[in-house]
Structure 1
Amino acid sequence: MADVFVSYKREDEPAVARLVKALRGDGLTVWWDRDIPTGAPWEETIEKEHGLARCLVVCWSKAAVASENVKAEARKARGKNQLVQTFIEPCEPPMFFGERQGIDLTGWTGRADDPRIKAVIAGVRATLEGREAEAGVGMAAPKSRTPPMPMLIGGGVALLAVVAVGVWFASRPTPDTTPQPSAEDITLAAIEGRWGTPTCAGSIYTYSVVRDPSAEQIRIVSQGPETRHEGRVISVTDGLVVTEALTPEEDRGNVVEIRPEPTQLVLQSRRDEFRLVMAKCP
C-alpha cells in the first residue's frame, strides 16, 4: 500500500518517471502502474491501490486529458479532497478541473531543487495531513489587478522564482508603461455584451461584470426581458469563469461555469448538468 497514487497516460511515462523518483526521493511512498506485479490483474490492482492511497497526483497532458481512465481516477480523488494536479505539458484541463490548483512541470528535467517539484511535494504532504496546501503551492500568480477574492477555490498565491539581470544603456528607449490587461480581465470582458438563446431572434440577455472592491468581490449580472440573474465569481482560469449563483433565490448556491467564445457563450450548471449555448448578438 502506498500513500500516493500517480495517474498518467502511458505516452508520458518518461516525464512521469522523473516525478515518481522525486517523490520517492523525498521519503513518500508512491505507486504507479509500473509497480503492477507480473501476472497480477491489471484493473483490479489499479482499483485497489487507488482506493488505498490517501493522495492522487494527476499528470495532465494532451493525452491524459483525452483519457477517460485518467479523468475518472482524478475525479474520484477530487471528490475526496485528495487531488494534487500537475501539468507536464501545456494543455487545457478537463471540464470541472480548470478552476483548481495546478503545478506547471513543463520542461522540468528532474532536478530536486527546482521550486516546482518542491511545490508538488508540499502539496502532497499537505493533502496527506488533511490540511490546506501552504500559500504559494500550485497556483499561478494572479495576474488580475483587482483585490484578491477570498472565494477563489484552493486559495493561495503561486511560488515565484524571479531572476533579474539589468543592463542599462544611455541610449535605452523609454519602456512602455501602459498597463496591459491580464488573461483574467480579458476573459471577464469577453462575457460582457448581448447574448441570445438559441439565436438573437428570441430573448436577449445583457451580461455585465460588476467589481465591488469594498466586498473584494466580482459579480456577473445577466439581465433579461423578465429575469435577472446574479452570480459571484469564484475563479477565472484558462478562459473559464466559475460562478456561484446569488439570485434568483431558487438558484442560490448553484455553481455555474461560463466559457466565453468568439461567437457564443457556453453555460454549464454543476447542480443538474444543464448546458446552455447562447449566441452573440449585435
Structure 2
Amino acid sequence: MDDNAGKAMPDIFISYAREDREIAELLARALEAEGWSVWWDRHIPAGKRFDEVISASLDKAKCVVALWSTAAIASQWVAEEAEEGKERGVFVPALIEAVEPPLGFRRIHAADLIGWTGDPGHAGLRQMIGDICTIISMPAPSADAATTESAAAPSHPSLSPTPSPRRRWRLPLIVGAGVLLLAAAVTAFLITPDRQLRVEEVANGAAGAHSDTAAPAVARIDGRWQGQVSYDWGLVQNETFSFRTVGRTLTGSAGFLGVARAMLNPRIEGDEVRFDVRWQETLGSSERDVVNHYIGALSGDRIDMVVTIEGGASPHPPIEFVISRIRD
C-alpha cells in the first residue's frame, strides 16, 4: 500500500469512513488516472501524529472529496474534514450509499456513486471529475505576487493614499447623471404630446410587468413530496421525493423502491420538471445499469409524474403517478 501522507500538496483529499476504505481506494486510483495526486491512505509514518498529518494534508489539498455513507455520517472525522472543504469552497461530495447527508451539507449536490465498481465511464464519476476540474482550475492568488506586493508597500501611511473604488467612481457617476438629465430634457422638448403619452404608457407597462414577475419556478418546487406508485411488476410503493434549491440550482433525491436516490441533472423549465435516477438491477450473477427518466408537470401542491425505465432486463411501459407536497 502506498503511503501518501508525505505528499507536499495533494490535489485531492478523500474523506471517508474506515468501513468504506475499499471504495475510497477505488476512487483514488480513478482520480490518479486522470493525472491528479490524491491523499487517501491514512497510514501514518512512525513518529508522526495522526491528527497533524491529516490536518496538514487537508489544509494543502486543492479539493476535498467526501464519500457519504451510513458510517461516514456517524464519523466525526469525516464531518470535520467535509466542513473544512466546504468553508474553503473546495468541497465535492459523493453518495456511495442511499443516505441523506448530514445537516449543513444537504443543499450541496452530491455525485451519485451508489453501486459504482470502478467503471471509468460511469456517469456519477464523470460528473464528479467535472466538478473537481472546475474547482482545481480556479485561479489561486500567487504567493510570489503577494510577497512582492507586500514588500513594495510602504511601511507607513502614504501622504497621498489611493482613493477608494467608491471615490474613484464618484466623478464619472456625476458626469453620467448629468448627461442623462440633459438627454431627458432634450427628448421632452422634441417629442410631441401624443408620442410622449405613448412613451409613458410603454414605460408604465414595462414597470408593471417587472413588478409582477413571479418567483422562479425552481423555488415553487422546494420541499418534500410523496405519492403512491404502482409499478408494472405488481409492487405498490409510497415514494418520497425531496427537492432543494440553491438560487436557481435544483438538487434533490427521489424515492425508488423505498430507497432515496440522488437525482441526476434535475432541472425545471416553466411548470415541467425533469430528472434521472441511476440504479443497478441484479439478476443472478449479472448486474445491469438502469436509468429512470422522470418528467413531471407542476401544478400548485401537485406534480403529475411519468417515469420511464431504461436499460433493465425486460422492457417497462411508462408509469404514471401523482405526488403531493408534504406540509410539515
Structure 1-normalised TM-score?
Answer: 0.52
1:53 to 53, 58, 61: 61
Task: Check 1:32–1:166 CA distance in 2 against 1; reply closer, same or farther (3 A cut).
Answer: closer
8 Å contact from structure 1 (residues 31, 49) kept in 2 = yes
What CA distance in whole angstroms lies between the structure 2 residues aligned with 1:12 and 1:118? Answer: 20
Deviating beyond 4 angstroms after TM superposition, the runs of 4 or more aligned structure 1 residues are 135-139, 143-149, 157-168, 175-179
Distance of 1:148 and 1:99 partners within structure 2: 21
Distance 2:20 2:266 in 1: 29
Aligned to 2:106: 98
What is the CA deviation profile of residues 220-245 of structure 1, one whole-angstrom value per residue up to 9, with x for unaligned ones? xxxxxxxxxxxxxxxxxxxxxxxxxx
Correspondence for 2:322 among 163, 168, 180 = 180
SS of 2:109's equivalent in the other structure is: coil
RMSD after superposition: 3.6
CA shift for structure 1 position 36: 3.3
Residues 68 and 101, structure 2, Cα contact 8 Å, conserved in 1: yes
Contact 1:136–1:158, Cα closer than 8 Å, also in 2: no
Q: Deviations over 1:235-277 (max 9, x none)?
A: xxxxxxxxxxxxxxxxxxxxxxxxx3xxxxxxxxxxxxxxxxx
**In the aligned structure 1, how far is the partner of 2:73 from the partner of 2:313?**
40
Aligned position for 1:190:
326
Counterpart CA distance in 1 for 2:271 and 2:44 is: 48
Cα 1:147–1:100 change in 2 (3 A) is: farther
Amino acid in structure 1 at the alignment position of 2:265: A
1:67 aligns with 2:75: yes
Separation of aligned partners in 2, 1:84 and 1:21: 17
**CA 1:178 to 1:104, structure 2 compared with 1: closer, same or farther past 3 Å?**
closer
Query: 1:140 aligned to 259, 264, 278, which one?
Result: 264
Secondary structure of the residue aligned to 2:42 is: helix
1:1-282 alignment to 2 at 5 Å? 1-34=9-42, 36-130=44-138, 140-142=264-266, 147=271, 163=310, 178-181=320-323, 186=324, 189-191=325-327, 260=328
Between the aligned partners of 2:112 and 2:318, the Cα distance in structure 1 is: 29
**Which AA in structure 1 matches 2:128?**
V
Distance, in Å, in 2 between the alignment partners of 1:111 and 1:176 is 29
**Cα distance in 1, alignment partners of residues 93 and 22 from structure 2:** 18
The answer to whether the 8 Å contact 2:11/2:62 transfers is yes
Gaps of 5+ in 2: 1-8, 140-248, 252-261, 279-289, 292-309
**SS at the partner of 1:86?**
strand
SS in 2 for 1:126: helix
**How many aligned residue pairs are there?**
172
Q: Deviations over 1:116-158 (max 9, x none)?
A: 2111111111111229xxx999962337786489xxxxxxx77
Is the 1:84–1:123 Cα contact (8 Å) retained in structure 2? yes
Show CA shifts across 1:178-214 (max 9, x none).
4432xxxx4xx212xxxxxxxxxxxxxxxxxxxxxxx
- 1:235 maps to none
Question: Using the alignment, how far apart are the partners of 1:3 and 1:139 within structure 2?
Answer: 27
* CA pair 6-97 structure 1, distance change in 2 beyond 3 A: same
124 and 136 in structure 1: CA distance in 2 versus 1, 3 angstrom threshold: farther
Quick check: which has more Rg, 1 or 2?
2
Change in 2 beyond 3 A, CA 1:136/1:18: farther
Quote how far apart the aligned CAs of 1:38 are. Answer: 3.7
How much does 1:90 deviate?
A: 1.2
More helix by share: 2
Do the aligned partners of residues 79 and 128 (structure 1) sit closer, same or farther apart at CA in structure 2, a change above 3 Å counting? same
Alignment partners' CA distance in 2, 1:20 and 1:114: 15
Tell me by how many angstroms 1:81 deviates.
1.1
Please give the alpha-carbon distance, in whole angstroms, between the structure 2 residues aligned to 1:176 and 1:27: 42
